[in-house]
Amino acid sequence: MNLIDGKATAAEIKREIAEEVAQIKAGGGKTPHLAAVLVGHDGGSETYVANKVRSCEEVGFHSTLIRYEEDVTEEELLACVERLNNDPDIDGFIVQLPLPKHIREERITEAIDYRKDVDGFHPVNVGRMSLGLPCFLSATPAGIVELLRRYHIETRGKHCVVLGRSNIVGKPVSMLMMQKGIPGDCTVTVCHSRTKDIKEICLQADIIIAALGVPEFLRGDMVKEGAVVIDVGTTRVPSDKTKSGFKLTGDVAFDEVAPKCSWITPVPGGVGPMTIVSLMRNTLLAGRKAIYA
Amino acid sequence: MNLIDGKATAAEIKREIAEEVAQIKAGGGKTPHLAAVLVGHDGGSETYVANKVRSCEEVGFHSTLIRYEEDVTEEELLACVERLNNDPDIDGFIVQLPLPKHIREERITEAIDYRKDVDGFHPVNVGRMSLGLPCFLSATPAGIVELLRRYHIETRGKHCVVLGRSNIVGKPVSMLMMQKGIPGDCTVTVCHSRTKDIKEICLQADIIIAALGVPEFLRGDMVKEGAVVIDVGTTRVPSDKTKSGFKLTGDVAFDEVAPKCSWITPVPGGVGPMTIVSLMRNTLLAGRKAIYA
């Protein structure tokens, strides 16, 4: 069993990005600038956004954090999106999800100029990804594919089973894995809550991408010898063994599954750290106008 | 074995659309208006466009056919798209593909206002489909799903194997089949030219959607007893038995496969006739501004 070290890979990519930013600055170019909009004070969202801002500093980007209280109206938020769309110094921005219930998330997502949509959630970016055209890839699927690429894991002709059909992981990663190219060219099966015989299907998989959000769903007897397992789950399970009072738990019963795997990602330290560097990479591409003019 | 009669279903849907158009007109509403742009004189394209124009007449739409010679420039075609985008009388329009090699198809497709993109090829419509949002569904996937719906074929929890990963059939139909809802909620496997063990995978399928474009690819020994088989193939194979000198041939070896099926679509007369009514349906929705304001 070999561990796919997402933390080390993410650190390596951050160094590469920092180097590129340094070159841009040395050449008199514009420093990439990411803005993040945070509504309310949800603990998870606070942590994610703080990590994004810190990563910006690490790679040498400018960053701007815009905060709204929980009671912000949809119109106020749309006005903020519009300002960011029109601000020439902002290369890319994100509105941290989830949003309060009185705000329609898709209205906000679609209001973002797709050329600044570094989260890759706008329909234009989702559609272009599906069509195999250059776009901002959403962070988690992009992070998964980048791990497979950097670890030279063979995907062509392999059977990849994706557990979960969410808009932010299951569906887009299934599209990327079936795409022509490397990584890609997989036969892809997407399983979800309605799937029967999920164990039998998993047992056929050369690569399993677990993104159901069900802690330790994938057990040892569901995985064939030599499989590659990518664990996207990050459920906060209460724990009396940690300072924070919870433990990040993946969708994979690691202790049972790992001994059978050729490669496996841990939680934490696997896919998680890769999502933020995917966002950094998109911001760099946005700053360079590498995808959209 | 039961035949899924696409021709009869398409005729029924056309009658429903014609009735709705008659009501709109009776109420003083605007007659839906579809424009089709045809470049050159390719035999297949000529036939498709002629069928679309005739279908418009049958359901009571206005239609406009705009022709260009093979040597039209990209700029001229983009100017035409722009005119149609801005013409308030045109509810929807299509540019018949394929286009001559000197024209970048994706540039044309993306120039079409997505609110008039009744072919459903624009990234916004592809992305919204993937996200499960209201959109113009592209014609062939929409036609397949509509056949399953009208024949009350159970899809929930079934294993659907899609053969082919094209942008116009394989990928979008796989997204629709895995979507929550009815039809949908399938476990979906997408196979393609790089797939190993394609026979074993097909033998597990409750539903097979064959869209490889390889005549008679799916043989009798690849299908389990009771499967539902949807044949999307329409390859023109030379034949001395027809007036036209060719025979439309599906991806399914019908004589071998049909006896094992619970339901099967023939070629011709299966999925083919449904694609044009999907286009008519989208045009009606565009006219009513039912999807985009």
- Where do you find CATH 3.40.50.10860 in chain B? 29-116
User: Is A23 one of the catalytic residues?
Assistant: no
Beta-bridge partners for B191: B163
CATH homologous superfamily of A139-272 equals NAD(P)-binding Rossmann-like Domain (3.40.50.720)
Q: Which residues have C-beta within 8 Å of that of residue A179, sequence separation ≥ 6?
A: A132, A185, B165
Residue B292 CA to its chain's centroid (Å): 21
Class of B29-116 in CATH = alpha beta
Q: Which residues have C-beta within 8 Å of that of residue B284, sequence separation ≥ 6?
A: B17, B20, B21, B32, B59, B61
Q: What is the mean pLDDT of each run of 10 residues along chain A (293 residues)?
A: 97 98 97 98 92 96 98 98 98 97 96 98 98 96 98 98 97 98 97 97 98 97 98 92 89 98 97 96 97 93
Check CB contact under 8 Å for A178 and B196.
no
| Cβ atoms B266, B3 nearer than 8 A | yes
CATH 3.40.50.10860, applies to A28-120: yes
Beta-bridge partners for A172: none
Mind listing the pLDDT tens digit for each residue in B55-111?
999 999 999 999 999 999 999 999 999 999 999 999 999 999 999 999 999 999 999
Q: Which residues have C-beta within 8 Å of that of residue B282, sequence separation ≥ 6?
A: B92, B118, B119, B120, B136, B137, B139, B142
Q: Of A130, A178, A196, which has the smallest distance from its Cβ to B190's Cβ?
A: A178
- Where do you find CATH 3.40.50.10860 in chain A? 28-120
Q: Which pLDDT does position A101 carry in this prediction?
A: 96
Tell how strand B187-191 and strand A187-191 pair up: antiparallel
Q: Which pLDDT does position B89 carry in this prediction?
A: 98
Check CB contact under 8 Å for B131 and A167.
yes
Q: How many CB pairs under 8 A join A and B?
A: 111
Q: Which pLDDT does position B189 carry in this prediction?
A: 98
Quickly list DSSP for A154-166: --TT-EEEEE---
CA atoms of B6 and A40, how far apart (whole Å): 53
Check CB contact under 8 Å for A122 and B126.
no
Chain A CA closest to residue B160: A189
ipTM higher than the 0.90 cut: yes
Q: Which pLDDT does position B62 carry in this prediction?
A: 98
Tell how strand A246-249 and strand A235-238 pair up: antiparallel
Q: Of B123, B132, B201, which has the smallest distance from its Cβ to A128's Cβ?
A: B123
What does the buried/exposed string (b/e) look like for B75-112 if buried means 16 or more CB atoms within 10 Å of the residue's CB? eebeebbeebbeeeebbbbbbbeebbeebeeeebbbbb
Check CB contact under 8 Å for A175 and B178.
no
Low-confidence ranges of chain B (pLDDT < 50): none
User: Under DSSP, is residue B205 helix (H, G, I), strand (E, B) or coil?
Assistant: coil
- Where do you find CATH 3.40.50.720 in chain A? 139-272
Q: Which pLDDT does position B44 carry in this prediction?
A: 86
Catalytic residue among A5, A14, A52, A206: A52
Task: Please state whether the peptide bond connecting residue A134 to the residue before it is cis, i.e. omega within 30 degrees of 0.
Answer: no
User: Is A221 one of the catalytic residues?
Assistant: no
Quickly list DSSP for B91-158: -EEEEPSPPPTTS-HHHHHHHS-GGGBTT--SHHHHHHHHHT-S----HHHHHHHHHHHHTT---TT-
Amino acid at A69: E
Smallest CA–CA distance, residue B63 to chain A, in Å, is 28
Check CB contact under 8 Å for B127 and A132.
no
What phi and psi, each to the nearest 5 degrees, are found at residue A191? -110, 155
CA atoms of B253 and B255, how far apart (whole Å): 6
User: Is A197 one of the catalytic residues?
Assistant: no
CA atoms of B66 and B64, how far apart (whole Å): 6
